[in-house]
Amino acid sequence: MRAMRALLAGRDTLVVLPTGGGKSAVYQVPATLLRGPTVVISPLLALQQDQIGNLNERADPALRAVRISSAESPSKQAAALAELRSGAAKFLFITPEQLSSPERLAEVRALRPALVAVDEAHCISSWGHDFRPDYLTLGHLIRGLGRPPVVALTATASPPVREDITARLGMRKPRLVLSGLDRPNLFVAAAHCPSEDYRWRRLLTLLKETDPPGIVYVPTRRAAEELAERLSDAGFPAQAYHGGMAAGVRHRRHEDFLADRVPIMVATSAFGMGIDKQNLRWVAHVALPDSPDSYLQEIGRAGRDGEPARALLLYRAEDVALQRFFNGGAPELKELRAVAAVLHNGPVTRSALAKATGLGQRKVASHIGLLEQVGAVATGAKGELTVPRYAPLPDQAAREALAEYARYQAGQRSRTDMMRRFAESRGCRVQSLLGYFGEQLSRPCGHCDNCHGGTSEVIPGDGPYPLHSTVRHAKWGSGMVLGYEKDRMTVLFDDVGYKTLSVSVVQAQGLLALEANRG
């Protein structure tokens, strides 16, 4: 209700609710009371289709939804616009790629939208686990729509992701609604596996103890194929899903899983957004996820019907090295310099920039994102790329962008470290996990393996530094206090990411100084 009231008052709003927590209702209810259509920007056609179907099944004219995407013919796209102009339809579902066309942007602007809803908003953040370069243009696209109020929705957003969403979308003092990340019906467990054989046997134990359907998350495409085959041979019918498959195959397997024709899906993180399945009984990870962000999102798909469900993480020490490998590969200085040099020659489109540099569209989008963060490029009203008046020269811009990437990598390594700390914790797992997101549970959750094993302890709700206060470290700079666990405290530093510190050592050596809180 807080989010709905804020939107009806015309205020930008950032909503973080768990999977199945009713995020769609946050914009659908106010939309019926606002004059003008609501534009819903969503990254996946399958996710859009589910939401459109749910709205149109109600046969309520005030909730009718249409879509403009690559899946519709030009005549259907024209019909959709006509329905919106006449008021016969209230919701327009669209992808960022469609809005990137100046002609399409002008057509949608002419509808005078009353609200823009950005679904799966963590996709806009380079700190987010589903980062999509095409989302980087959304801030200027929303301005191109006349800058109606914006609601950004996500199921998981740690503090740096929330800040990134707010900045990249150009949100104006948004109301933050953060609620209910704890899921009492979800039993959370983790087990260290000394060998791959042990990990395999623990997975089989889970499958024997619980009913399908379920998802097994794996780190690589090859692992998805091999494990699905091995499970099927062991009498547990499974299918694989990953981003390397043909789109048609992925679509069929997605539909088969939703229809309970596939009891077990073995998947990479590509199998995620768009799963609107209420009866998922378990989610297993057979490798350490890259961050608590992706982990919380993935386990949140289990037990959406409110019935008991399980989340099991089976990790090995080698998993950390694998994540380090995935997060390698810094952009090349010469490529960044080449992009910056072309930009200095005058306004240019993204496609022209890709052609001039010989780089792929995705790489160009990623490089532009880094250069934007150091003030070396700006996006005009029609989507053209320009160089701000006081931007650094190409060589300096490239070096500053590379330094920004190094800062991001340090943050990403710290998130993997936090995931490992969660896996190895002897305390309440949910307290540890929610503390990463800045939400503190005052008592052990009672629905994790450590709580059931008797190793969780009541931890202080506060410590020598108030929660969410700003502190400064002589080496790591400014940071935010996120939580406490026994004698440990977690601080998110602006430049080096998450650090877990001993409270007694911090106090004895005076390592942190309390600062005035930031905005």
Question: What average pLDDT does range 275-291 have in this prediction?
Answer: 90
- Distance, first Cα to last Cα, the chain: 24
Beta-bridged to residue 150, according to DSSP, are: 116
| Residues across the chain | 519
Residue with tokens 């900045």: 167
Q: Where are the alpha helices (DSSP H) in 210-244?
A: 221-233
Per-residue pLDDT band for 313 (boundaries 50, 70, 90) equals very high
pLDDT value of position 228: 97
pLDDT tens-digit series, residues 72-124: 888 999 999 999 999 889 999 998 888 878 888 899 999 999 999 998 888 88
Most confidently modeled range among 198-202, 406-410, 441-445: 198-202
Residue 209, Cβ density class (10 Å: 0-12 exposed, 13-18 middle, ≥19 buried) = exposed
| Nearest by Cα to 156 from 185, 130, 132, 189 | 130
Q: How far apart are CA 497 and CA 408, in angstroms?
A: 8
Per-residue pLDDT band for 325 (boundaries 50, 70, 90) equals low
Most confidently modeled range among 66-70, 203-207, 265-269, 388-392: 203-207
Report CA torsion sign: 252, 258, 264, 269.
Answer: positive
3-12, 26-35, 200-209, 453-462: least confident range: 453-462
Residue 399: strand, helix, or coil: helix
Question: What average pLDDT does range 146-152 have in this prediction?
Answer: 93
Per-residue pLDDT band for 194 (boundaries 50, 70, 90) equals very high
Residue 418 pLDDT exceeds 60: yes
pLDDT tens-digit series, residues 337-374: 999 999 888 788 888 888 989 988 878 888 888 888 78
Residues 149 and 72 sit within 8 Å (Cβ to Cβ): no
Report CA torsion sign: 161, 163, 164, 170.
Answer: positive
133-137, 307-311, 326-330: least confident range: 326-330
Per-residue pLDDT band for 53 (boundaries 50, 70, 90) equals confident
Element (H, E) at 54: helix 45-56
Q: What domains are defined for the chain? A: 2-178 (3.40.50.300), 186-326 (3.40.50.300), 333-406 (1.10.10.10), 425-515 (2.40.10)
Element (H, E) at 187: strand 186-192
Q: What's 113's DSSP letter?
A: -
Residue-wise DSSP of 4-29: HHHHHTT--EEEE--TTS-HHHHHHH
Q: Which residue has the higher pLDDT, 138 or 227?
A: 227
Per-residue pLDDT band for 129 (boundaries 50, 70, 90) equals low
Rounded to the nearest 5°, which phi and psi values hold at 135?
A: -75, -15
Beta-bridged to residue 515, according to DSSP, are: 470
Residues 37 and 90 sit within 8 Å (Cβ to Cβ): yes
Residue 25 pLDDT exceeds 70: yes
56-70, 229-243, 336-350, 450-464: least confident range: 450-464
Structure-derived torsion over alpha carbons of residues 250, 252, 257, 260, reported in degrees to the nearest 10: -170
pLDDT value of position 133: 64
The answer to whether the peptide bond before residue 61 is cis (omega within 30 degrees of 0) is no
Per-residue pLDDT band for 385 (boundaries 50, 70, 90) equals confident
HSE-CB for 385 with a 13 A CA cutoff = 27
Query: Judging by DSSP bridges, how do beta strands 470-473 and 477-485 pair with one another?
Result: antiparallel
Angle at 270 between CA 134 and CA 422, to 5 degrees: 105
Question: What average pLDDT does range 5-28 have in this prediction?
Answer: 85
Task: Kindly calculate the radius of gyration of the chain based on its CA atoms and give it in whole angstroms.
Answer: 23
Residue with tokens 């990254």: 43
| Nearest by Cα to 350 from 142, 143, 134 | 134
Q: Which residue has the higher pLDDT, 423 or 410?
A: 423
Per-residue pLDDT band for 182 (boundaries 50, 70, 90) equals confident
The CA distances from residue 211 to 208, 239, 261, 308, in Å, are 8, 16, 14, 11
Residue 331: strand, helix, or coil: coil
150-154, 167-171, 270-274, 403-407: least confident range: 270-274
Residue 273 pLDDT exceeds 70: no
Q: What's 121's DSSP letter?
A: G
Residue 505, Cβ density class (10 Å: 0-12 exposed, 13-18 middle, ≥19 buried) = exposed
Collect all residues with Cβ–Cβ distance below 8 Å to 336 and sequence separation of at least 6.
367, 370, 371, 397, 398, 401, 402
Residue 244 pLDDT exceeds 60: yes
Enter the pTM of the model: 0.78
Residues 343 and 387 sit within 8 Å (Cβ to Cβ): yes
Per-residue pLDDT band for 24 (boundaries 50, 70, 90) equals confident
pLDDT value of position 83: 92
The CA distances from residue 292 to 39, 421, 431, in Å, are 30, 10, 12
Residue 450 pLDDT exceeds 90: yes
pLDDT value of position 326: 60
How many CB atoms neighbour CB 346 within 10 A? 10
Residue 153 pLDDT exceeds 70: yes
Residue 131 pLDDT exceeds 70: no
Residues 12 and 54 sit within 8 Å (Cβ to Cβ): no
- Mean pLDDT taken over the chain: 86
Residues 120 and 136 sit within 8 Å (Cβ to Cβ): no
